[in-house]
Amino acid sequence: MKPIGLAVVGAGYWGPNLVRTAQATPALRLEWLCDLDEDRARAVLGPYTTVQATSSYQRVLDDPRVGAVAIATPAATHFDLVRAALEAGKHVLVEKPLTPSAAESAKLVELAARSGLVLMCDHTYCYTPAVRKIRELIRGGEIGDVQFVDSVRINLGLVQPDVDVLWDLAPHDLSILDHVLPDGVGVEAVAARGSDPIDAGRLCVAHLTAELTTGVMAHIHVNWLSPTKIRTTVIGGSRRTIVWDDLNPVQRLAVYDRGVDLAPAGSLGPDERREALISYRVGDVLVPALPEREALREVMAELAAAITEGRPAVTDGRSGLRVVAQLEAATRSVSTGGALVPVQDVIGEKIIGENVTEENA
């Protein structure tokens, strides 16, 4: 089959990775790297390439060989660039966040649906072997009911010029959550607090609490100022608990048969009952073998597959929209002193589980 012609837009921090992995994907044919600074695009391509550099986005959209564009520019430019691409009949892969506004994101989702084009968000983590396994464990029932989620993503990070730490880092955690939770379960409301202790003009440290539709509390801690790098997510379940330490290559994922159990209530009084029925599981830990695969290559393969098969990508525009709506709710919460903000207030409708919304679409 003929490969799909691709243009990468944006030669900044992430663009070079798209360029590299697109070139390693047989189902894609990289035609262009486009950046306002054409020299930068050329430098990214290097002196040995047959790929063309350009500073003209229009030229890319006019090229009939180009079937899809992959956009890795600042978030503020996403709405215009994605819309133009969809209007030009191109499929789109776009970096997170989809756009900085739920309302605009919803427009893009609608436009793609109307045009029958693939609109895919590069929620890269959803394509890692670890997250795939977590999704499988949760949806396969192996961990039981999710009881709590705790995610820490801290780092000495680049203070971004255009987004705060919530919009920079929390999309990872929120998109993962969106991906691994069972059908029909999602984030219903969000509360967040943050601070800017270095006077950077935007939040550098933030704590986000997401209330799931099941009543479960998920907590996300993002921080640009930590001298140590931590990327750990704990998903507590009624049967097992998952600990994902993404920086531990030896043991990225561990499934603990450890926890507190409460037997179903009998005929005792409330307090005695609880005492009597609490028990502790201290079983084995299983570290599942994970394949070694680069997530971004899987993103590229999924982009090509979704286009070819005429179906939504696994991390489609709707998932991007859900994440943006949650982030917008978080920002509102911060500005109102940490109050719980229903996601519905942002998006005007209930968008919880991925499959549920797909049905409704």
Q: Kindly identify the residues of this chain, within the stretch 32-71, that bind a copy of itself according to CB under 8 A.
A: 46-51
- How near is the Cβ of 275 to a copy of itself at its closest, in Å? 6
In the shown chain, the binding pattern of residues 133 to 172 toward a copy of itself, with x for contact by CB under 8 A and - for none, equals: --------------xx-x-x-x-x--x-x-----------
Identity of the residue, 86 or 204, whose beta carbon is nearer to a copy of itself in the bound complex: 204
Q: Which of 39, 261, 309, 349 binds a copy of itself (CB under 8 A)?
A: 261
Identity of the residue, 154 or 324, whose beta carbon is nearer to a copy of itself in the bound complex: 154
Chain centroid, CA 272 distance in Å: 44
**221 binding a copy of itself? (CB under 8 A):** yes
User: CB-side exposure of 54: number of CA atoms within 13 Å?
Assistant: 15
φ, ψ dihedrals at 241, nearest 5°? -125, 135
Identity of the residue, 59 or 202, whose beta carbon is nearer to a copy of itself in the bound complex: 202
Q: How far is CA 106 from CA 183, 310, 335, in A?
A: 21, 20, 23
294 secondary structure, DSSP code: -
Q: Which of 207, 231, 252, 318 binds a copy of itself (CB under 8 A)?
A: 207
- How near is the Cβ of 314 to a copy of itself at its closest, in Å? 25
Burial bucket for residue 170 (CB in 10 Å: 0-12, 13-18, 19+):
buried
**285 binding a copy of itself? (CB under 8 A):** yes
Identity of the residue, 24 or 113, whose beta carbon is nearer to a copy of itself in the bound complex: 24
Q: Tokens at residue 87, please?
A: 């209007």
Determine if the peptide bond prior to 97 is cis (ω within 30°). Answer: yes
- How near is the Cβ of 101 to a copy of itself at its closest, in Å? 20
Helix (H) or strand (E) holding 222: strand 217-223
**286 binding a copy of itself? (CB under 8 A):** yes
Q: Which residues share a beta bridge with 220?
A: 151, 208
**24 binding a copy of itself? (CB under 8 A):** yes
Identity of the residue, 226 or 344, whose beta carbon is nearer to a copy of itself in the bound complex: 226
**278 binding a copy of itself? (CB under 8 A):** yes
The answer to whether 311 and 84 are in contact (CB under 8 A) is no
**224 binding a copy of itself? (CB under 8 A):** yes
**23 binding a copy of itself? (CB under 8 A):** yes
Identity of the residue, 83 or 258, whose beta carbon is nearer to a copy of itself in the bound complex: 258
| Nearest CA-CA partner of 219 in 210, 230, 232, 227 | 210
In the shown chain, the binding pattern of residues 294 to 333 toward a copy of itself, with x for contact by CB under 8 A and - for none, equals: ----------------------------------------
Q: Which of 193, 239, 297, 350 binds a copy of itself (CB under 8 A)?
A: 193
Residues 228 to 257: which contact a copy of itself by CB under 8 A? 228-229, 234, 236, 238, 241, 243, 247, 249-251, 254, 256-257
Q: Which of 259, 312, 317, 353 binds a copy of itself (CB under 8 A)?
A: 259
201 secondary structure, DSSP code: S
Distance CA 325, CA 184 (A): 17
What is the biggest distance separating any 2 CA atoms in the chain, rounded to whole angstroms? Answer: 78
Identity of the residue, 110 or 150, whose beta carbon is nearer to a copy of itself in the bound complex: 150
* CB-CB neighbours of 273 under 10 Å: 16
- How near is the Cβ of 134 to a copy of itself at its closest, in Å? 15
Residues 68 to 127: which contact a copy of itself by CB under 8 A? none
Q: Which of 62, 339, 348, 358 binds a copy of itself (CB under 8 A)?
A: 339
User: CB-side exposure of 249: number of CA atoms within 13 Å?
Assistant: 2
φ, ψ dihedrals at 317, nearest 5°? -60, -35
Q: Indicate the Cα dihedral angle 295, 297, 302, 303, nearest 10°.
A: 120
φ, ψ dihedrals at 43, nearest 5°? -65, -40
Number of residues that bind a copy of itself (CB under 8 A): 77
